[in-house]
Structure 1
């Protein structure tokens, strides 16, 4: 079952990567009218919908890091736990 745990981890890392790329784009003030930037924004908003506004802090930078960084970490941690528990060696 080595392949399935790798797929689970890879999917989680891709999702986290989308969130991290959006964090970087937002903090660098990327042009939201651009198609690629718009796609990352939409995807990140969908992936982080449950965490946006979870914490209300002063400052745009910290707010973006919390809104999109928390789900990135959660997805990777959950995927690693699932992959190791479900498909790990006994």
Structure 2
């Protein structure tokens, strides 16, 4: 039974870390966008592509007049959802066992 609890704890940690990493990637793209990072740079392009994939459902959800507000709101919403859902699932796993 102790082994089962250990596996559940590890799974919860993995879920939390994955949620944190996904949100961090999206947050990094928001920061790069706001700081006007060079989009021809390979790292910037990679982060933008990954963030766009992760936030595909929300990146153009809002129609603010200014582009920076659309990026912050659309991508920021995705980052918050990853954090909240990931940590809720991890918490539920820990409470279940």
- Normalised by the length of structure 1, the TM-score is 0.93
CA distance in 2, matches of 1:3, 1:52: 32
**Counterpart for residue 83 of structure 2:** 76
**Counterpart for residue 14 of structure 2:** 7
Tell me how far 1:86 sits from its aligned partner. Answer: 2.5
Q: 2:55 aligns with which of 48, 54, 78?
A: 48
**Deviation sequence 1:30-86 (CA, Å, 0-9, x none):** 001000000001000100100022111111221111111000000010011111113
**Counterpart for residue 32 of structure 2:** 25
The count of aligned residue pairs is: 90
Say what the alpha-carbon RMSD is for the aligned residues: 1.2
For structure 1, which runs of at least 5 residues remain unmatched after alignment? none
CA distance in 2, matches of 1:64, 1:43: 14
CA distance in 2, matches of 1:83, 1:48: 21
**Counterpart for residue 57 of structure 1:** 64
Residues 19 and 69 in structure 1, CA contact (< 8 A), matched pair in contact too: yes
- Normalised by the length of structure 2, the TM-score is 0.87
